[in-house]
Amino acid sequence: MADILIIGGGIIGVTLAHELVRRGEDVTLLEKRFIGSGSTFRCGTGIRQQFNDEANVQLMKRSVELWKKYSEEYGFSFQQTGYLFLLYDDDEVTEFKKNIAIQNKFGVPTRLITPEEAKEIVPLLDISEVVAASWNPTDGKADPFHSTAAFALHAKEMGAKFYERTEVKDIIIKNGEIKGVKTNRGVFKTGIVVNATNAWAKLINAMAEVPVRIPIEPYKHQAVITQPIKAGSINPMVISFKYGHAYLTQTAHGGVVGGVGYEEGPIYDLNPSYAFLKEVSYYFTKIIPALGELLILRTWAGYYAETPDGNAAIGRINEIDEFYIAAGFSGHGFMMAPAVAEMMADLIIKGRTALPAWWFDPYRFERGEFRTTAIQMG
């Protein structure tokens, strides 16, 4: 018998298990493959507060505080090396000035800088077409492998139970009450289920017969990594909407990692494509010509779980006693996870939270109430 059962061992499920057990709850987590195997271990590593709406800025500000706290406590790599958005025309500059105002309002120190200043931050940049850049030095990046493993390890040490290679087949509900979940390893009895399966969320919702329309669809996005180069060559996450909605940075291990906005879906397929390899190489060498001479080691694919407004669905489904969802992250899940975990734990334990959960209300799609589309790269 588990008091709270989390389905999905990605960063959202793992940090939630960690947060709940830290607050003294009895937690069990089920993961169909291994921790991080869904999309977390495939992510682009970035953590930013540069969003275009108040709710996401607030949430990410809290998330960065938590990333800092836990990376220090658990000893995994989280570097506040900034996010650098390269801007190429007046329209982009106008738009980013608006975003900067929102970010500044909540104490996020983003500012507009000149192309020359951008080049000082990343000397390898080609700034010949850049007119300005939006720069926040407190954004950053973390190692998805070591961070997820650390959250999982500490959650387990505090008493959370993790079952890997355990795939949920059905959710047992009687008279509107959850009784347990059926898996390939038998039935787990529980009264509370959290759907933290992101790209697979629609499958779990179907098993629970969620009576609300929550459109979350899996889209294949790909990423690339190059040979390691000397540390400090590309410190921040560099973003260029002009060149393919690209994001790229250097990992702690030295390789240049990133992706572009080349999307396929909705689809459950993770085979990297040749078309992506050509696209990402084209755009990356436009942004940083020196990348052209680097060897590509690998490409891979992961899912963006897309909703109509690019914001996740986070909250309780009232018709089922008790069913929660925290899914529908499209390139934002990794960066938001610690704050989402805090928000979800508040909702499960206290029924309310100081963080802006209303923005992510899972009923909004049914009501036809869409949010400003959250800034998304890749």
Candidates 95-103, 167-175, 182-190, 226-234: pick the segment binding another protein (CB under 8 A).
226-234
Residue 268 in contact with another protein, rule: CB under 8 A = no
Interacting span for another protein (CB under 8 A) from 132-140, 193-201, 208-216, 293-301: 293-301
Minimum gap (Å) between residue 121 Cβ and another protein: 15
Should residue 245 be labelled a site residue for another protein when binding is judged by CB under 8 A? no
Which of 107, 109, 159, 289 touches another protein (CB under 8 A)? 289
Using CB under 8 A as the binding rule, whether residue 231 contacts another protein is answered as yes
Distances (CA, A) of 38 to 10, 143, 269, 334, 346: 6, 16, 12, 12, 25
- Rank residues 175 and 271 by Cβ distance to another protein and give the closer one: 271
End-to-end Cα, the chain, rounded Å = 41
According to CB under 8 A, which residues from 147 to 186 bind another protein? 149, 164
Q: Which is nearer to another protein, 74 or 300 (CB)?
A: 300
The stretch near another protein (CB under 8 A) out of 97-105, 286-294, 312-320, 330-338 is 286-294
* Residue with tokens 């009784």, as numbered in its chain: 179
Site for another protein in 102-131 (CB under 8 A): 123-124
Complex with another protein: residue 151 or 323, whichever CB lies closer? 151
77 binds another protein (CB under 8 A): no
Question: CA-CA distance, 302 to 238, in Å (whole number)?
Answer: 20
Q: What is the DSSP string of 20-64?
A: HHHTT--EEEE-SSSTTTTTGGGS--EE----SSHHHHHHHHHHH
Contacts with another protein, 7-36, as mask; x by CB under 8 A:
---------------------------xxx
Judged by CB under 8 A, the stretch of 85-93, 107-115, 144-152, 315-323 that binds another protein is: 144-152
Q: CB count, 10 Å around CB of 163?
A: 16
Pairing of β 186-195 and β 177-183? antiparallel
Dihedral pair phi/psi, residue 151, rounded to 5°: -60, -40
In contact, 42 and 20? CB cutoff 8 Å: no
Piece of the chain touching another protein by CB under 8 A; list 8-16, 77-85, 171-179, 271-279:
271-279
Query: Quick check: 299 binds another protein (CB under 8 A)?
Result: yes
**Could you say which of 175, 186, 274, 350 contacts another protein (CB under 8 A)?**
274
Contacts of 180 (CB under 8 A, 6+ apart): 171, 172, 187, 188, 189, 190
Q: How far is the CB of 94 from another protein (least distance, A)?
A: 29
Q: Give, as one character, the DSSP assignment of residue 277.
A: H
Please give the Cα distance from 83 to 213 (Å, whole number).
Answer: 35
Q: Are 216 and 328 in contact (CB under 8 A)?
A: yes
Interface pick for another protein out of 22, 23, 68, 146 (rule CB under 8 A): 146
Residue 2 to residues 153, 181, 188: CA-CA distances in angstroms? Answer: 19, 11, 7
Among positions 187, 267, 297, 354, the unique one binding another protein when judged by CB under 8 A: 297
Site for another protein, rule CB under 8 A: 34-37, 41, 123-124, 145-146, 149, 164, 226-231, 233, 253-254, 271-274, 277-279, 281-282, 284-285, 289-300
